Amino acid sequence: MVKVLVVDDSALMRKHLTDLLGSDGGYEVRTARNGAEALVAIEEFDPDVVTLDVNMPEMDGITCLSRIMTQRPKPVLMVSSLTEEGAEATLQALSLGAVDFVHKPGGTISLSIDRIRRELLFKVRAAVGARVRRAVGLRGRLRAERDRIAGRTGTSSRRSLATGTRAGFGLVLIGVSTGGPGTLEEIVPLLPADFPWAVLIAQHMPATFTSVFARRLGEMSRVPVVEVSRQMPIEAGTVYVAKGDADLVIGKRAAGPIATPVPSSGDFVWHPSVARLVASAVEAFPAERLIGVELTGMGDDGAEQMADLNQRGGRTIAQDAETSVVFGMPNELIRRGGADLVLPADRIAAQLIHWVEPTPAARAGRARSWCS
């Protein structure tokens, strides 16, 4: 039996979530009305997973989560409303170490019971095996890693990214799911302002979250971060986040490459689809101008397409098991023999910089072998 602690100040919401978990038969559920009760229940009940509401009296969910992560780390799922305010709080919680989030059932829960039940059970099962990610000291680690990268590569004068690097222009394609926001915070902020390639991210996330996520990530980073909510040209030195509940495809026009949001396709399970993003990039760009990065997440979205990219001559990175919240997607890429390198999250940015801005010696070696 998987032990789940449901924390919510609403008696109706506690009943909804308890009933949904109880319908599967594999869960022992206890409840708490606020963060203070939750901390006591964690000591007594020792749950495998905690579902945690944000807005509660006496002790709110964010404060409670901070205490859990510092005192007795547990896999935590935030129960979030699909609003901008809910997205802000949820992304803050993910930065603090929450594993994932589930949508808060509404008053008409009976109208969407099957979808809510599938999402809740799927994410609780994933959380049971998840690696709890501590976010304590993240900004300090980012500063230290920035200094290390700058010391190794030296500083370069800023150049015109839109025109000055077109001959060597390429795309970094990042696929990520569970644990993604926190992991991306360890990669994108380390990219220099004059990073010469574009970065495109397919993060499994609803539409109301991706715009908030892009804004938060941009505030931490030296490269601009935008949500692809409409067709737009792809420029070097910019990070593009696929709009949630849709897919992102890459195309080429006479003026240059473009990023286009398209309705999610039933041919793909998860959205925004990593598989569809990578497949479209392979059609539009030569493989040697592409780098695939498969990060934490359950399942195998994008693994087949990145392995194919690797076979065609593109380079690929899989996040390692130690730093992955869920080692599903990167492990599938490794299992297919499609990963050039397996790296911890905090070393991926440095590797990308090395590949796209090589030293003269590395550039000579690259002519002999495409892989580092």
The residue annotated as part of the active site, out of 8, 16, 177, 324, is: 177
Is residue 151 packed enough to be buried (19+ CB in 10 Å), middle (13-18) or exposed (0-12)?
exposed
CA 168/CA 158 separation, integer angstroms: 16
Q: Choosing from 48, 53, 80, 204, which is the catalytic residue?
A: 204
d(CA 111, CA 72): 37
CA–CA dist 233, 255 (Å, integer)? 8
Identified catalytic residue from 301, 320, 340, 346: 301
**Is 301 tagged catalytic?**
yes
**What phi, psi does 39 have (nearest 5°)?**
-65, -40
Task: Report residue 317: phi and psi, to 5°.
Answer: -130, 135
Residue 71 burial (CB count, 10 A): 11
Nearest to 120 by CA among 1, 250, 18: 18
Write the CB contacts of 112 (distance below 8 Å, at least 6 apart in sequence). 105, 106
Number of Cβ within 10 Å of residue 147's Cβ equals: 10
Of 370, 285, 293, nearest to 339 (Cα)? 293
Which residue type does 364 have? A
Residue 19, both tokens: 């009933």
Asked if residue 102 lies in contact with residue 77, where contact means CB atoms within 8 angstroms, the answer is yes
Active site residues: 177, 204, 301
